[in-house]
């Protein structure tokens, strides 16, 4: 996610604010300052309404952040890397780098967020009970109590990928022992919840409450989009689960000398072999110096190919991402997507033994799903 402002790190996890948060925070503050606060305290001056509104809005987004941190903490405790937490228009997203390896872990990670929201709703309810006689304080704590409760209930809708849907998916996985049928159920519930929200939104619009209805339609639309994307990722992930790199890799690799000029490299090595990526090493028994691919060469103007060498354009070996031959295929695929490369060198105890091309992983997945279907 690019249009994101990094504000700091918690437990090593970068926290980002997506740009869409800005207008939403402004709208929320505006409605709190001009409708909610004046309704509760008509006697207070406008500047106090605005201060209360800004503070309440900030506490609301703090609540969402704490909800996501709940997911993130439990994910980390179970050995799942959390790459970032982003706050955006629809709430927060904690991006977990790996999928849960068991239904128990998936359930605990999914349940952690709603538990935090429940705790927050209770705390604000308690504060409200204590300060209910005090103007300034009572209305914001009541609003935050209600809003956290709504956040809790919305997230418990059993539509994947909402927390309730994730918990349901984990339960189906545990009971059936089959992750794929759990994904199918998740897709179905997610779609049902999404279309349910859209239908409810339309009914609300027809009932005359246009703004609230449209909001529900937008959330439903967003949800059905995310459901499809997430469950497609889960199917791919399940298809690759437990399969090691060595089952799909290509043994052996083409090697070129570092002093090879690019014109020779292209005409004598790349074009005849059809290979896209070469290891740069000055002899067979010397360690690799780097990796040179056709896209590295393409960045050099053609008229310079007679005097620029492979070593000049290669990626130095220290910066090359590799996978071990006993590593998991799905991790390797994710690494390729992240590094935006089409192949990864495969190593065996640190020594390069072959390549893993992305297209081979994908055709492997296609073949397997054809066999299964």
Residues labelled catalytic: 68
Token pair listed for 340: 């935006």
Q: Which is nearer to Zn ion, 113 or 165 (CB)?
A: 113
Q: Would you count residue 113 as binding Zn ion (CB under 5 A)?
A: yes
Segment lying near Zn ion (by CB under 5 A), choices 8-16, 158-166, 299-307, 320-328: 158-166
CB 252 within 8 A of CB 211: no
Q: In 20-147, which ranges are E strands? A: 82-88, 91-96
Q: Would you count residue 159 as binding Zn ion (CB under 5 A)?
A: no
Segment lying near Zn ion (by CB under 5 A), choices 108-116, 211-219, 233-241, 362-370: 108-116
Token pair listed for 146: 């209600």
Which residue in the shown chain puts its C-beta closest to Zn ion? 113
Quote the CA–CA distance of 212 and 97 in Å, as a whole number: 35
Q: How many residues bind Zn ion (CB under 5 A)?
A: 3
Nearest alpha-carbon partner for 196 in 229, 219, 169? 219
> Could you tell me the smallest distance in angstroms from the CB atom of residue 93 to Zn ion?
9
Quote the CA–CA distance of 57 and 48 in Å, as a whole number: 14
> Which residue(s) pair with 4 in the sheet?
18
Neighbours of 351 (CB within 10 A): 8
Q: According to CB under 5 A, which one of 84, 106, 142, 163 is a site residue for Zn ion?
A: 163
> Could you tell me the smallest distance in angstroms from the CB atom of residue 114 to Zn ion?
6
Q: Which is nearer to Zn ion, 163 or 230 (CB)?
A: 163
Nearest alpha-carbon partner for 13 in 110, 92, 89, 90? 92
Neighbours of 19 (CB within 10 A): 13
Interface mask (CB under 5 A) for Zn ion, residues 255-294, using x and -?
A: ----------------------------------------
Q: Would you count residue 230 as binding Zn ion (CB under 5 A)?
A: no
Q: Would you count residue 106 as binding Zn ion (CB under 5 A)?
A: no
Segment lying near Zn ion (by CB under 5 A), choices 155-163, 211-219, 320-328, 331-339: 155-163
**Termini Cα distance of the chain:** 35
Q: Would you count residue 296 as binding Zn ion (CB under 5 A)?
A: no
> Could you tell me the smallest distance in angstroms from the CB atom of residue 135 to Zn ion?
34
Segment lying near Zn ion (by CB under 5 A), choices 126-134, 159-167, 222-230, 238-246: 159-167
Quote the CA–CA distance of 321 and 142 in Å, as a whole number: 52
Quote the CA–CA distance of 193 and 233 in Å, as a whole number: 19
Q: Which is nearer to Zn ion, 53 or 116 (CB)?
A: 116
Q: Would you count residue 201 as binding Zn ion (CB under 5 A)?
A: no
Longest dimension (CA), the chain: 85
- Enumerate binding residues for Zn ion (CB under 5 A): 113, 155, 163
């Amino acid at each position: 996610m690019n249009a994101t402002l990094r504000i700091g790190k918690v437990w090593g996890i970068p926290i980002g604010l997506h740009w869409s948060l800005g207008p939403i925070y402004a709208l929320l503050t505006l409605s709190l300052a001009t409708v909610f606060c004046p309704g509760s305290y008509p006697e207070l001056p406008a500047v106090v309404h605005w201060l209360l509104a800004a503070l309440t809005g900030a506490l609301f987004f703090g609540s969402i952040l704490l909800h996501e941190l709940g997911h993130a903490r439990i994910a980390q405790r179970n050995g799942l890397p959390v790459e970032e937490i982003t706050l955006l228009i629809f709430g927060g997203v904690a991006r977990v780098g790996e999928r849960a390896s068991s239904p128990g872990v998936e359930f605990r990670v999914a349940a952690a967020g709603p538990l935090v929201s429940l705790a927050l709703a209770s705390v604000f309810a308690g504060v409200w009970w204590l300060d209910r006689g005090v103007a300034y304080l009572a209305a914001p704590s009541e609003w935050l109590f209600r809003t956290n409760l709504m956040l809790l209930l919305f997230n418990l809708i059993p539509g994947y990928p909402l927390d309730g849907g994730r918990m349901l998916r984990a339960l189906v996985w545990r009971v059936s022992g089959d992750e794929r049928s759990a994904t199918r159920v998740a897709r179905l519930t997610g779609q049902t919840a999404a279309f349910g929200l859209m239908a409810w939104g339309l009914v609300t619009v027809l009932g005359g409450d246009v703004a609230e209805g449209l909001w529900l339609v937008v959330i439903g639309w967003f949800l059905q989009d995310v459901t499809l994307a997430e469950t497609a990722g889960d199917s791919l992930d399940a298809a690759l689960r437990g399969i090691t790199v060595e089952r799909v890799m290509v043994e052996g690799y083409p090697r070129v000398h570092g002093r090879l000029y690019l014109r020779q490299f292209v005409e004598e090595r790349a074009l005849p072999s059809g290979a896209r990526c070469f290891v740069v090493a000055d002899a067979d028994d010397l360690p690799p110096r780097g990796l040179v691919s056709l896209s590295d060469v393409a960045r050099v103007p053609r008229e310079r190919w007679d005097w620029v060498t492979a070593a000049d354009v290669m990626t130095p070996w220290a910066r090359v991402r590799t996978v071990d031959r006993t590593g998991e295929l799905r991790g390797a695929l994710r690494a390729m997507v992240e590094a935006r490369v089409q192949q990864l060198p495969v190593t065996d105890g640190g020594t390069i033994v072959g390549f893993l091309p992305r297209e081979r992983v994908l055709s492997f997945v296609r073949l397997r799903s054809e066999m299964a279907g």
